[in-house]
Amino acid sequence: MIKLEHVSKSYSAGIPALNDISLNIKEGEFVFVVGDSGSGKSTLIKLLLKELEPTEGKITINGKDLHKIRRKQIPRYRRNVGVVFQDFRLLKDRNVYENVAFAQRVIGTSTRKIRSNVPTMLSMVGLAAKYKSLPKQLSGGEQQRVAIARALVNEPKILLADEPTGNLDEKNAWEIMRLLEEINKRGTTVLVVTHNMQIVKAMKKRVITIKKGVIEKDEVPGDYSDED
């Protein structure tokens, strides 16, 4: 599903942000990516979204060599990869319904389908009743739920999350992680970058630790501990 072979990414001369990364994530997996600030986690996410090209190595997603995807095909590729960020990135002047519907409009989904899909997604994230609210009228946790609904409305096979709980308190962080776990149980492959080690320890998933651009550890579910 997600395969990296000897992938490196340098922004400029000097130490690369990612250095000879190889990893394999299977369909249906839930994977945490952890590591200090500046270790290359967001760079990894950007490579998977084809926002950046690797300096070296090969990335294959859903059987497709990312390097071979033409510029014109990138929007279609990205439809199969949902993404959420720490800062939610919602449209501030649009209500909850419109924020999710927008993701469908841009790919030409019919209004009829949008009217049926958006409420389904909002129910899934527990926000059906708030469809008319503006982002500023929602808590951080609720805003992240909207972002998750938007990321999933086009039914991507993969969901990437770059520090999705970074702006949330402990209770909301847990709720978002449990929601991501639920989404994974329904079949989506989920990759979550996080600093919340307490949650990582408790959830017993596969944990990939990145340190200064290299994979320091890759632990199977339940194996993660903070002891060296």
Ligand X SMILES: Nc1ncnc2c1ncn2[C@@H]1O[C@H](COP(=O)(O)OP(=O)(O)O)[C@@H](O)[C@H]1O
Task: Report the interface residues with ligand X, using CB under 6 A.
Answer: 11, 17, 35, 37-43
The binding site for Mg ion (CB under 5 A) comprises: 41-42
- Please name the amino acid found at residue 119: P
Tell me how many degrees the CA angle 213-216-219 measures, rounded to the nearest 5: 130
Query: CB under 5 to 8 A by kind: which of ligand X, Mg ion, none does 39 bind?
Result: ligand X
Residue 78 neighbours by CB distance under 10 Å: 17
Query: CB under 5 to 8 A by kind: which of ligand X, Mg ion, none does 38 bind?
Result: ligand X
H helical segments located in 6-91: 41-48, 74-78
DSSP state of 54: -
By beta-carbon proximity to ligand X, the closer residue of 9 and 145 is: 9
Beta-strand pair 206-211/2-9: unpaired
Query: CB under 5 to 8 A by kind: which of Mg ion, ligand X, none does 75 bind?
Result: none
Helix (H) or strand (E) holding 8: strand 2-9
By beta-carbon proximity to Mg ion, the closer residue of 81 and 118 is: 81
By beta-carbon proximity to ligand X, the closer residue of 93 and 226 is: 226
By beta-carbon proximity to Mg ion, the closer residue of 88 and 131 is: 88
